[in-house]
Amino acid sequence: MEPKLHPALTVSNIKTHVPVILEKDSTHYTTWKTLFKVHCQIYEVLDHLAAKPDAASSSTTTDSADSAKDKGAAAAAETLWKQLDAVVLQWIYATISTALLHSILKPGQTAHEAWLAVESEFNDNKNTRAIFLGQEFANLCLENFSSMAEYCQHVKHLADQLQSVGSPVDDRMLVIKILTGLTDQYDNISTVLQNRDPLPDFNEVRSRLNMEEQKKKRQVTRGAQSAATALAATTSNPPPSNTPSTFYHSDRGRGGRSRSSRGRGRGRNYSGCGNNNNSRYQPSPT
């Protein structure tokens, strides 16, 4: 009977299960660590992230068949353990950046040793990292993100990172940070949420803000559709013929005739007055 294949040996691409590539100065360590441990637990190799337990002391009786079988089973188990440890080690190497890999890589390294090396990279200088993360957390604003979901997720991510370096952010402060970083167009919903006592938790705030964002998008879409409909109606229904331009030409015609008549009248009057005056006016003889 063929031995059953271990689940960890069936994983062909670790990046489909742990999509985060951990960078040397990344703030995603907690995310990477959590995903990696969950993956190892599913595939029954979580124990490889811990120190290898001491092997059971061998029996002093070596001439019995049972002892021989035990030794064979122990050798097979040791071989499988080394194979699985190499698989987990390969998973670690495949989900970290090249720069971080060069920092932690050592010949003959076990998965547990590599795991600790990565952990030390992110847990050393906790105070410095806490200051860096705290500054980024304080300066977060919605306007720097493409969506509300991305903004809320990044705020939560930084809060998790602060907790990992010993500077936890409780749910109340997390909510306050999200609300203070909103843009002016969310003033109404922000005021509603701020006036809740106690404040709603992170999940409710994120849900309410996402719904508000979707509502605003629908309003913009309806406004654009209304404008397009109005423009199409104007284009298909031109204004009546009594336009200013037509009126102008008609008025010009009437004005032309009026000006012509007045012109002729003035001409006659002026000429007549002048001629009559000239004809009647005779200088008196001196």
- Lowest-confidence pick of 35-39, 87-91, 116-120, 274-278: 274-278
For residue 239, what pLDDT band results from cuts at 50, 70 and 90? low
Nearest one of 210, 45, 223, 56 to 142, comparing CA atoms: 210
Per-residue pLDDT of 99-118, as tens digits, reads: 999 999 999 999 999 999 99
Nearest one of 220, 149, 215 to 178, comparing CA atoms: 149
For residue 64, what pLDDT band results from cuts at 50, 70 and 90? low
Per-residue pLDDT at 204 exceeds 70: yes
Q: Based on the number of CB atoms within 10 Å of its own CB, is 18 exposed (0-12), middle (13-18) or buried (19 or more)?
A: buried
Cα angle: 199, vertex 201, 206; to 5 degrees: 110
Per-residue pLDDT at 149 exceeds 90: yes
Average pLDDT of the residues in 48-54? 87
- Residues 6 or more apart whose CB falls under 8 angstroms from that of 54 comprise none
Residue 65's pLDDT is 57
Average pLDDT of the residues in 152-161? 91
Query: Residue 134 in contact with residue 160, Cβ under 8 Å?
Result: no
Per-residue pLDDT at 267 exceeds 60: no
For residue 55, what pLDDT band results from cuts at 50, 70 and 90? low
Per-residue pLDDT at 146 exceeds 90: yes
Average pLDDT of the residues in 189-213? 96
